[in-house]
Amino acid sequence: MKSYVPNTEKERREMLEAIGLKSMDDLFSDIPEDLKLDRELDLPAPMSEMELRELMMGYVLQNDEGGLLFRGAGAYRHYIPSVVPQLAARSEFYTAYTPYQAEMSQGMLQSIFEWQTVICNLTGMEASNASVYDGATAASEAILMMRDSKRKSKVLYSAGLNPDVITTIKTYAHCYGIELVEIPLNKDGITDMAALEANLPESAGFIAAQPNYFGCIENMDAISEAVHAQKALLVSYVNPISLGAVKRPGDYGADIAIGDAQPMGLPLNFGGPYVGFMATGGKLVRNLPGRIAGETTDAEGGRAYVLTLQAREQHIRRDKASSNICSNQMLCAIMSTIYACTMGPEGMREVAEQNIAKAHYLADEICKIPGMKLRYATAFFNEFVIDTETPAGQINEALKDMGIVGGLILPDGGMLWCATEMNSKEDIDFLTDMLKNIVEGGMEQ
């Protein structure tokens, strides 16, 4: 049986003696007897490391992940350079707690500072926090920032946000007492400007997505102008991997840039851990939730990094804090930082351009198949919606048999397809050949 307790039975007895106790039970004499558990916990028997490995393999074998993936919808498969997991596996990083003691945590604090700089430079903003849990919680925190800085309790959001993000902000907004209003998309799959303009008065701000859930590129210049004309705030939810090719939030005047950095160096991991980012500027910096690393000097004048602006935080302000967040996703943030620094400016551009090219090639090939067409005539990044005459469920079941994970089926029967640099032309051609067979097979029936 595995035990991670080093002390032997003999040593434990000697330690008990040293403190004047006879048995382990004496340590728990403060606990009322009738509350104590009078049996062993009913859990599977302990096991050795070798048995554990076999057990886990048993679970893994119950999965059938398929070989080719054409699904995104908020979680994206990108190439992760080996340096990312290798460096994040340095246990000086991953076995540390939050850097409360700056003198022995300069590595982590500087890494946070570098992450903040990467996020600021990618989004075109002035200040970033050390991360939040994911994109959905970043959006939920952004709602609070908007309300607190504008002192208005109505917030608009785009129907083009990821549905999980929408469900999450609704959950949070209910507690905050914030009224959320959904701004629909028009027939081109982008924000309905008339609806936005009609709802902006009396609103704290608007959360837009770029690209949006359906892959479409929004006209953020127009959105920004409309939002700021009403003195409201613009929050831009962006896919960071798009920013090598798509304009940065800071460039069109967004007040807060948020998103999930999973596409930058984090494995899919069945949905987590990912990492939310939040960046802003000006006075809003003091409304940012959670940890922030700052540069300062030590007593001898050397450069040093510390956790700063802590007067916003729960451990100081308690019920007056800007958020309750304590732990964030630091190691994930380091991984995304290493990814961005490995790719550099040229790599980030190239990966974005490859995503655009692959997705457009996939869309073009799918559209050659009878009964399949692009829903929106709008520019897109690495995802797009296909309307299909053959039922989507039938398509995906048939693809599954061939080891292919097809596009995500939307509630209205459309399919949200995704291609990244990971999908080769050969794979895409194989997929579209199969799709053609499925559709033709369906017609013959």
Partner 1 sequence: MRQSYKLIFERSHEGRRAYDLPALDVPAVDAIPANMKNEAKLDLPELGEVDLVRHYTNLSRRNFGVDNGFYPLGSCTMKYNPKINEEVAGMFEDMHPLLDEDMSQGALRMMYDLEGYLAEICGMDAFTLQPAAGAHGELAGLMLIRAYHEKRGDTERTTIIVPDAAHGTNPASAVMAGFKVKEIKSAPDGGVDLDALREAVGPDTAGLMLTNPSTLGLFERNIKQIASIVHEAGGLLYYDGANLNAIMGIVRPGDMGFDVMHINLHKTFSTPHGGGGPGSGPVGFKKHLAPFMPVPVLVEREGMIELDYDRPDTIGKVKMFYGNFAVCVRAFAYIRSLGGKGLREASENAVLNANYIKNAMRGVFDIPHDRICMHECIVTPTEEMMEKGVHTTDVAKALIDRGYHPPTIYFPLIVHEAMMIEPTESESRETLDEFIEAMKEIASEALTAPESVKACPKNTPIGRPDETTAARKPIVRYVKPE
| Shortest Cβ 440–partner 1 spacing (Å) | 24
Phi, psi angle pair for 94, to nearest 5°:
-80, -15
Q: Which of 194, 198, 229, 326 binds partner 1 (CB under 8 A)?
A: 326
**What's the DSSP call for residue 249?**
G
**Of the two residues 139 and 233, which places its CB atom closer to partner 1 in the complex?**
139
Q: Which of 184, 187, 229, 327 binds partner 1 (CB under 8 A)?
A: 327
Enumerate residues 181-210 that contact partner 1 by CB under 8 A.
none
Nearest to 205 by CA among 144, 156, 274: 156
| Shortest Cβ 36–partner 1 spacing (Å) | 5
**Of the two residues 319 and 444, which places its CB atom closer to partner 1 in the complex?**
319
> Using an 8 Å Cβ cutoff, are 255 and 233 in contact?
yes
Record the tokens describing residue 164, joined without a space.
């999980």
| Shortest Cβ 401–partner 1 spacing (Å) | 12
| Shortest Cβ 162–partner 1 spacing (Å) | 7
If one asks whether residue 65 binds partner 1 (CB under 8 A), the answer comes out as yes
If one asks whether residue 145 binds partner 1 (CB under 8 A), the answer comes out as no
If one asks whether residue 434 binds partner 1 (CB under 8 A), the answer comes out as no
| Shortest Cβ 174–partner 1 spacing (Å) | 8
Build a one-symbol-per-residue string for 12-51: x at contacts with partner 1 by CB under 8 A, - elsewhere.
x-xxx-xxxx--x-xxxxxxx--xxx--xxxxxxxx-x--
If one asks whether residue 239 binds partner 1 (CB under 8 A), the answer comes out as no
If one asks whether residue 445 binds partner 1 (CB under 8 A), the answer comes out as no
Distance CA 19, CA 160 (A): 63
**Of the two residues 91 and 445, which places its CB atom closer to partner 1 in the complex?**
91
| Shortest Cβ 334–partner 1 spacing (Å) | 7
Single out the segment in contact with partner 1 by CB under 8 A; choices: 152-160, 197-205, 229-237, 400-408. 400-408
If one asks whether residue 430 binds partner 1 (CB under 8 A), the answer comes out as no
Backbone φ/ψ region at 228: left (φ over 0), alpha (ψ -120 to 50), beta: alpha
Instruction: Please list, in sequence order, all residues whose beta carbon lies within 8 angstroms of the beta carbon of residue 205, skipping any fewer than 6 positions away.
Output: 146, 150, 155, 156, 227, 232, 233, 234, 235, 255
Build a one-symbol-per-residue string for 250-279: x at contacts with partner 1 by CB under 8 A, - elsewhere.
-x--------x------xxxxxxxxx----
| Shortest Cβ 444–partner 1 spacing (Å) | 26
Distance CA 226, CA 321 (A): 32
Distance CA 255, CA 235 (A): 6
If one asks whether residue 298 binds partner 1 (CB under 8 A), the answer comes out as yes
Nearest to 156 by CA among 176, 133, 177, 184: 184
The answer to whether the bond into 184 is cis (omega within 30° of 0) is no
Name all contacts of 357-364 with Cβ < 8 Å and 24+ positions apart: 358/382, 358/419, 358/420, 358/421, 358/423, 358/428, 359/215, 359/383, 359/384, 359/417, 359/418, 359/419, 359/420, 361/419, 361/425, 361/428, 362/70, 362/417, 362/419, 362/423, 362/428, 362/431, 362/432, 363/417
CA distances, 87 to each of 82, 116, 315, 385 (Å): 9, 19, 31, 37
| Shortest Cβ 393–partner 1 spacing (Å) | 10
Q: Which of 194, 229, 316, 443 binds partner 1 (CB under 8 A)?
A: 316
Report the sign of the C-alpha dihedral through residues 329, 330, 331, 335, in that order: positive
Distance CA 64, CA 226 (A): 47
**Of the two residues 198 and 311, which places its CB atom closer to partner 1 in the complex?**
311
Q: Which of 77, 147, 154, 375 binds partner 1 (CB under 8 A)?
A: 77
Backbone φ/ψ region at 240: left (φ over 0), alpha (ψ -120 to 50), beta: alpha
**Of the two residues 47 and 229, which places its CB atom closer to partner 1 in the complex?**
47
Enumerate residues 97-136 that contact partner 1 by CB under 8 A.
97-108, 110-114, 116-118, 120-122, 126-128, 130-131, 133-136
Q: Which of 325, 385, 392, 431 binds partner 1 (CB under 8 A)?
A: 325
Size of the site for partner 1 (CB under 8 A): 209
| Shortest Cβ 332–partner 1 spacing (Å) | 6
If one asks whether residue 215 binds partner 1 (CB under 8 A), the answer comes out as no
Distance CA 65, CA 404 (A): 9
Single out the segment in contact with partner 1 by CB under 8 A; choices: 62-70, 151-159, 201-209, 226-234. 62-70
Enumerate residues 364-383 that contact partner 1 by CB under 8 A.
379-381
**Of the two residues 52 and 194, which places its CB atom closer to partner 1 in the complex?**
52
Q: Which of 428, 431, 435, 438 binds partner 1 (CB under 8 A)?
A: 428
Phi, psi angle pair for 154, to nearest 5°:
-110, 130
